[in-house]
Amino acid sequence: MSHKAKKRFGQNFLVDTHIIADIIRCIQPKLDDHMVEIGPGLGAMTRPLLQQLKKLHVIEIDRDLIARLENDYPQGNANTPLIVHAQDALQFDFATLPAPLRVVGNLPYNISTPLLFHFAKFANRIQDMHFMLQNEVVERMVAVPSTPAYGRLSVMLQYRFNMEKLMDVPPESFRPAPAVNSAIVRMISLPPSEILVQDEVLFAKIVAAAFGQRRKTLRNTLKNYLTETDFEHLKIDAQQRAENLSVEEFARIAVFVKRD
């Protein structure tokens, strides 16, 4: 039974068997892992994952694909190796799955950033994540300060995860082929002792304000949070821009503002 990719779900199905094998090697699934796949699609990664896992959870929103999965792996049987969650991953409560959780998937590129922020809410329950994403997004995720790709996404993920770009994936590896290059990224949750942020809501507001007007200096973008004296106390040059600050410096600002 053929399936036509649906634009509204951002579907581009991975078909290159060599790339799929490389991704599985990167993930290194273990028999008893608690693993969930986001958007299994036609099962390109689902099937090889199931060869190495006792059980796999999948989250799928497309009713046609859900029907295919449930036909191949009937639900309601305690012995089924595949548990299908017919839901939007953006709304899914990952706290309902056993921890430590490993998350994998070829994410829809049109909602990749909201998905990443949603997953970050459950970082304390997640061991690691391996995702296929638009290469430009991956470059932003792993970017270092004072580079063009470094921005809000970099800071908001790097304070919670160690991240590494693993491999490039060309458009011809998909059907239909996307108009952009893709890449695989690994995200490993940091232990609580290494998370410098105390008030995540305040931290997010400060980072958003700092990057809201990238070309303006911190003196202007953070004027609602810091005075000239505060910058001096923090030993941060107010003439810098947001892109020049490290994740640790943003965390220090948030801690300082929270103290007041």
Determine, yes or no, domain membership for 71.
Answer: yes
Report residue 210 as tokens: 């700092």
Residue ending a domain, among 192, 213, 247, is 192
Q: Are residues 218 and 180 in the same domain?
A: no
Query: Closest Cα to residue 183, out of 147, 151, 152, 137?
Result: 137
Q: What's residue 260's pLDDT? A: 63
Q: What's residue 184's pLDDT? A: 97
> How confident is the chain (260 residues) per 10-residue block, as mean pLDDT?
50 86 97 97 93 97 92 89 96 97 92 96 97 97 98 98 97 88 97 92 98 96 98 98 98 91
Query: Closest Cα to residue 10, out of 81, 108, 142?
Result: 108
Determine, yes or no, domain membership for 1.
Answer: no
Range of the domain at 76: 7-192
DSSP state at residue 177: P
Q: Are residues 83 and 188 in the same domain?
A: yes
54/56 Cα distance (integer angstroms): 7
Q: Are residues 210 and 133 in the same domain?
A: no
Q: Are residues 41 and 133 in the same domain?
A: yes
Q: Are residues 210 and 178 in the same domain?
A: no
Quickly tell me which residue has 């990057």 as its tokens.
211
Q: What's residue 9's pLDDT? A: 46
In the chain, the number of structural domains is 2
Q: What's residue 95's pLDDT? A: 97
Determine, yes or no, domain membership for 26.
Answer: yes
DSSP state at residue 226: -
Report residue 217 as tokens: 């200096």
Residue ending a domain, among 192, 218, 239, is 192
